[in-house]
């Protein structure tokens, strides 16, 4: 992995982390196209730079993160399912991260679902985070577990989960952003722990690459969040659905036609 790879992956992460198109799936495919070697640092990098993107949420919604304790309790409740499933199935999740076909299929299927989401959930009753109940937060947390399958998209799973509980598109998207903070922080911390547990030590070059990746992902995500919220309120999910179907379909066709898509 060199600096060009880092810049490209960080830009992809910043743009796609909050869009319902799967940031992990896009980084897996981008890594495959660039021919980046499959090693522990590359796998760590694709998780760790998500923290940079997530920190943009804290900056943009700074005041919202210093509200009542009720706000934090809801995030904890929503985070619990992913924490449990992540610990129980971490090895299987890592195995799925190496499957480009899995990414293609989940992108395609998820795209079909997004084509109909706006029609299925078009009568929202909850328009602000403070109206979300603990039970609703827990249900959204279970939807988030679907994102452990590469290509699903954590953002798509939690936003659709929120809308299924009668949240407006904006309320569902914002709660998804908030929930990303503890989720991705925990995922990064676990990945770092596993990295050290296996006897790895960061080199100076690796630290530099991680720092650059996080900064770029942070800046790009700042721009992406505001654009996404505005677009989502006006246009809904159909464009993202067609995009996922196109990308997923191309990946599936390439693999089935004998092209070897190496993965990270």
Residues 182-197 have pLDDT tens digits of 888 887 887 787 777 7
Domain that holds residue 181: 3-256
What integer pLDDT is reported at residue 97 of this predicted model? 61
Q: Average pLDDT for residues 173-183, to the nearest whole number? A: 88
Residue 264 covered by a domain: no
For residue 135, is pLDDT > 90?
A: yes
What integer pLDDT is reported at residue 92 of this predicted model? 67
Q: Average pLDDT for residues 39-50, to the nearest whole number? A: 79
Residue 261 covered by a domain: no
Dist CA 212 CA 204 (whole Å)? 12
* Side-chain half-sphere exposure of 88, counting CA atoms within 13 A: 7
For residue 139, is pLDDT > 90?
A: yes
Q: Across the strands, what pairs with 167?
A: 126
Quote the number of domains for the chain: 1
Residue 247 covered by a domain: yes
For residue 246, is pLDDT > 80?
A: yes
- Interhelix angle for 23-34 vs 3-16, to 10°? 160
Residue 179 covered by a domain: yes
Q: Average pLDDT for residues 3-17, to the nearest whole number? A: 89
Question: Do 223 and 19 meet the contact criterion of CB atoms below 8 Å apart?
Answer: no
Strand, helix or coil for residue 126: strand
Give the closest residue to 62 by CA, choosing from 169, 181, 173. Answer: 181
Question: Given pLDDT bands bounded at 50, 70 and 90, which one contains residue 263?
Answer: very low
What integer pLDDT is reported at residue 232 of this predicted model? 79
Dist CA 35 CA 90 (whole Å)? 25
Where is average pLDDT lowest: 38-52, 93-107, 200-214?
93-107
In 146-264, the DSSP E strands lie at none
Residue 18 covered by a domain: yes
Residue 40 covered by a domain: yes
- Interhelix angle for 40-60 vs 3-16, to 10°? 40
Dist CA 11 CA 27 (whole Å)? 10
For residue 35, is pLDDT > 80?
A: no
Q: Kindly report the backbone phi and psi dihedral angles of residue 126, in degrees, each rounded to the nearest multiple of 5, phi listed first.
A: -110, 115
Residue 35 covered by a domain: yes
Burial class of 204 by CB neighbour count within 10 A (0 to 12, 13 to 18, 19+): exposed
Dist CA 119 CA 114 (whole Å)? 10
What integer pLDDT is reported at residue 169 of this predicted model? 84
Strand, helix or coil for residue 167: strand
Q: How far apart are the two ends of the chain, measured CA to CA in Å?
A: 11
For residue 67, count other CB atoms closer than 10 A to its CB: 11
In the numeric block, which tokens belong to residue 216?
């770029």
Q: Average pLDDT for residues 117-144, to the nearest whole number? A: 87
Residue 84 covered by a domain: yes
Higher pLDDT residue, 136 or 149? 136
In the numeric block, which tokens belong to residue 99?
């499957």
Question: Given pLDDT bands bounded at 50, 70 and 90, which one contains residue 264?
Answer: very low
Averaging pLDDT over each range in 20-34, 156-170, 176-190, which range is the top one?
A: 156-170
* Positive/negative CA dihedral, 195, 196, 199, 203: positive
The whole-chain average pLDDT of the chain stands at: 83
Q: Average pLDDT for residues 97-105, to the nearest whole number? A: 76
For residue 48, is pLDDT > 90?
A: no
Dist CA 109 CA 68 (whole Å)? 38
Task: Report the predicted TM-score, pTM, of the whole model to 2 decimal places.
Answer: 0.81
Residue with tokens 């898509």: 261
pLDDT > 70 fraction of the chain, expressed in percent and rounded: 92
Residues in the chain: 264
In the numeric block, which tokens belong to residue 75?
């995030």
């Amino acid at each position: 992995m060199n600096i060009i790879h880092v810049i490209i992956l960080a830009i992809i992460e910043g743009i796609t982390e909050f869009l319902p198109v799967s940031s992990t799936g896009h980084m897996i495919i981008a890594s495959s196209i660039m021919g980046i070697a499959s090693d522990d640092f590359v796998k760590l990098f694709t998780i760790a730079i998500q923290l940079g993107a997530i920190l943009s949420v804290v900056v943009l919604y700074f005041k919202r993160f210093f509200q009542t304790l009720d706000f934090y309790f809801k995030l904890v409740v929503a985070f619990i399912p992913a924490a449990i499933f992540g610990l129980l199935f971490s090895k299987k999740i890592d195995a799925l991260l190496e499957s480009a076909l899995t990414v293609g299929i989940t992108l395609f299927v998820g795209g079909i679902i997004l084509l109909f989401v706006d029609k299925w959930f078009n009568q929202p009753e909850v328009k602000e985070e403070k109206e979300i109940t603990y039970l609703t937060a827990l249900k959204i947390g279970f939807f988030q577990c679907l994102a452990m399958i590469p290509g699903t998209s954590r953002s798509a799973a939690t936003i659709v989960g929120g809308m299924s509980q009668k949240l407006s598109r904006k309320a569902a998207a914002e709660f998804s952003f908030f929930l990303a903070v503890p989720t991705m922080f925990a995922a990064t911390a676990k990945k770092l722990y596993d990295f050290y547990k296996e006897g790895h030590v960061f080199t100076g070059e690796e630290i530099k690459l991680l720092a650059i990746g996080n900064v770029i992902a942070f800046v790009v995500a700042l721009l992406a969040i505001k654009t996404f919220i505005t677009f989502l309120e006006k246009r809904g999910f159909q464009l993202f659905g067609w995009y996922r179907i196109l990308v997923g379909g191309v990946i599936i066709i390439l693999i089935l036609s004998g092209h070897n898509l190496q993965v990270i």
